[in-house]
Amino acid sequence: MQVFTTPKLKHVEITSDFWKRYRELVVKEVLPYQWQVMNDEADIAIAEDPQNNGQDKNSHAVANLKIAAGKMKGHHYGFPFQDTDVYKWLEAAAYSFSYHPNKDLKKITDELVDLIAEAQDDDGYLSTYFQIDAPERKFKRLQQSHELYTMGHYIEAGVAYYQETGNQKALDIATRMADCIDRNFGLDDGKISGYDGHPEIELALARLYEVTHTKKYLELAHYFLNQRGQDPAFFEKQIKADGETPDRDLIPGMRAFKREYYLAAQPIKDQKVPHGHAVRVVYLCTGMAYVARYTHDQTLLDACDRFWNDLVKRQMYVTGNIGQTTTGEAVTYDYDLPNDTDYGETCASVGMSFFARQMLSIRAKGEYADVLEKELFNGALSGMALDGKHFFYVNPLEADPAASKGNPGKSHVLTHRADWFGCACCPANLARLITSVDQYLYTVTEDNTILSHQFISNDAQFDDGIEINQSNGFPWNGDIHYEIKNPNGQTFKLGLRIPSWSADFGLEVNSKAATQPVKDGFIYFDITEKSTTIDLSLDMRVKFMRANNRASADFGKVAVQRGPIVYAAEQADNPAPLWTYEVDTKTKPSSAYEDKLLNGVEVVKVNADQVQLDSDDGPLYTEESDQSTQSTELTLVPYYAWANRENGQMRVWLNK
């Protein structure tokens, strides 16, 4: 008897209206706009906060590469990691070719790959700041230099570009880069026994290993993870040797952060919870999970579990945002979830999606897919305006233009999306997630199982003619229809996710009512027939959510969720101030789809009392007594779509 091995995923075409719009928006608006910005051809205003770092209207990111390639004269401009804007953009463009072939764009990206190849040093090194203005300081100040972070982003782009277009040169740049890093880093005599201040190279090398099957890249990634924190004084020693005066710092203020901030105070295997810069945390976690999957290193996997549990169960906002403080763009401590000063960097939500995807590849657990969905529909997506030309770096859960203007401690909280940022890490990071979202819908496991864990309509083709077509009106409608075609009568398991927000669900198999036990967030079917249909009805009731009552900021408040979508109240729909509303959680909320609003959204209405505002010249404090209230209705829109109308207040957590 022939044993059928696990069906290989060949192609996924997204048919979801919701995601098709975003993916076309990236092609039509985001990519051209960002290309103009990176070439200094766009008339943009750079947000003063966060991380402006004295930037003016220029990005200079492409110019830096031209100077390094000897095609232009001048100095490097921008952050030491300015190159990464270009690489993330290239990666986003590469994925877009899989659903929107575009000759004009392809010409630009091919030429960009040529330029990058010319900018690369003969030994494979590529970080334009150091090549142009500080060649003697290469790899000498890794706490701040972002050199491996920068090259890691190229490696990701190069792998993606090679996979999508077959461009060998793009992959060769990446392998030459990895070889350069391999020659310079490690425990052998003469090598640097250190690592980069910003994780990224680990996950990038794992991706390079996946495509090249060259073991040394996986071993190098493993080395970086194992070596981290082995010598907690590594960065300080380098700084001492490179020069301790402030003018030697590559990014002002970076030296003040402690070892914990860089996840370098102790070996990862000994770290109980994540510390420091949120994006570093999630990139490190992604690298750990990636490498653990291939090396079966249990200590790395244990660290993934510890960090996952702490982030998801004690430090994640209801929207999926991560990073509670602007000070160092960092995570803080368990259950500290302030809503009006939080950071919630778009990149951290994008990175959390990477981490969740890797964990799903290790274990078939619905909670990983739940978090991935939460990021895709909330925390990550809120990083971009509906026009594709304005972006959030910081994603608050409560905002007030007066507070952002008047309180320096809240000045990082923008109440409208910016044209661009001095540190422009977020826009292209989100773009590459959106253009590759087709790669996030299925996980095929070695035990002959296909997991379908996201409800994004699609047609997926596997080998031996197997097809899975999923159609739905998600995220507004919870009726999910599957058609599974298995023309050669193969045998495999199909796992469908039951989201944590839908404990109740209806199920029909071949139009007959059925039941299936839920195991770790999935229901399973043995597929043997040539054709099978499955209909899943998810619970799309509007729900009032509360936070764990250890989270002081949310105590006594409710957030509104429908399906995976978290809702927000905006001043555009509700007379301010929004803190004067008290939601009636006893009355059932209503919801209706409005196709003209915010590109089409399900709008939720909840009953509320609004307390009458005290007079402006009244006393600041009076003895407590009943205040007069007016019965009203609060209108809520999806969180991802806030700040697309007039500038005003917003809040996710509502008084009750």
Residues of this chain that interact with Zn ion (CB under 5 A) are 345, 347, 425-426
The whole-angstrom separation of Cα 482 and Cα 113 is: 40
- Listed in sequence order, the residues at least 6 apart from 627 whose beta carbon sits closer than 8 Å to its beta carbon are 611, 612
- Listed in sequence order, the residues at least 6 apart from 125 whose beta carbon sits closer than 8 Å to its beta carbon are 131, 138, 177, 180
- The active-site residue, picked from 180, 347, 425, 426, is 425
Closest contact distance (angstroms) between CB of 7 and Zn ion is 36
Q: Give me 172's structure tokens.
A: 């060769």
Q: Give me 537's structure tokens.
A: 């009805």
Q: Which is nearer to Zn ion, 174 or 425 (CB)?
A: 425
DSSP state of 418: B
| Strand boundaries in 472-600, DSSP class E | 479-485, 492-497, 505-509, 512-513, 522-527, 531-538, 542-545, 557-562, 565-570, 581-583, 590-594
Q: Which is nearer to Zn ion, 352 or 425 (CB)?
A: 425
Query: Which contacts qualify for 570-576: CB closer than 8 Å, 24 or more apart?
Result: 570/637, 570/642, 570/643, 570/645, 570/648, 570/649, 570/650, 571/646, 571/648, 571/649, 571/650, 572/645, 572/646, 572/648, 573/635, 573/636, 573/637, 574/634, 574/635, 575/610, 576/648, 576/649
Closest contact distance (angstroms) between CB of 425 and Zn ion is 3
Q: Give me 372's structure tokens.
A: 């991935």
Closest CA to 541 of 515, 503, 583: 503
Closest contact distance (angstroms) between CB of 156 and Zn ion is 15
Which DSSP string corresponds to 282-305?
HHHHHHHHHHHHHH--HHHHHHHH
Q: Which residue is nearest to Zn ion (CB)?
A: 347
Q: Which is nearer to Zn ion, 180 or 426 (CB)?
A: 426
Q: Which is nearer to Zn ion, 425 or 569 (CB)?
A: 425
- The active-site residue, picked from 329, 367, 373, 602, is 329
Closest contact distance (angstroms) between CB of 429 and Zn ion is 6
Q: Residue written as tokens 């300081």?
A: 137
The whole-angstrom separation of Cα 361 and Cα 443 is: 6
Q: Which is nearer to Zn ion, 425 or 636 (CB)?
A: 425
Angle, nearest 10°, between helix axes 147-165 and 168-184?
Answer: 150
Q: Give me 61's structure tokens.
A: 């990111």
Q: Which is nearer to Zn ion, 171 or 424 (CB)?
A: 424
Burial of 237 (0-12, 13-18, 19+ CB in 10 A): exposed
Q: Which is nearer to Zn ion, 282 or 634 (CB)?
A: 282
| Residue 425 annotated as catalytic | yes
The whole-angstrom separation of Cα 406 and Cα 149 is: 36
The whole-angstrom separation of Cα 565 and Cα 320 is: 11
What does the longest C-alpha to C-alpha distance in the chain come to?
Answer: 87
Q: Which is nearer to Zn ion, 124 or 152 (CB)?
A: 152
**CB count in 10 Å sphere of residue 638:** 23
Closest contact distance (angstroms) between CB of 275 and Zn ion is 19
Closest CA to 374 of 655, 91, 550, 638: 638
Q: Which is nearer to Zn ion, 345 or 535 (CB)?
A: 345
The whole-angstrom separation of Cα 508 and Cα 558 is: 34
Q: Which is nearer to Zn ion, 347 or 413 (CB)?
A: 347
Closest CA to 635 of 645, 627, 626: 645
DSSP state of 529: S
Q: Give me 238's structure tokens.
A: 């380098």
Closest contact distance (angstroms) between CB of 317 and Zn ion is 16
Question: End-to-end CA distance of the chain, in Å?
Answer: 64
Active-site annotation, residues = 329, 425
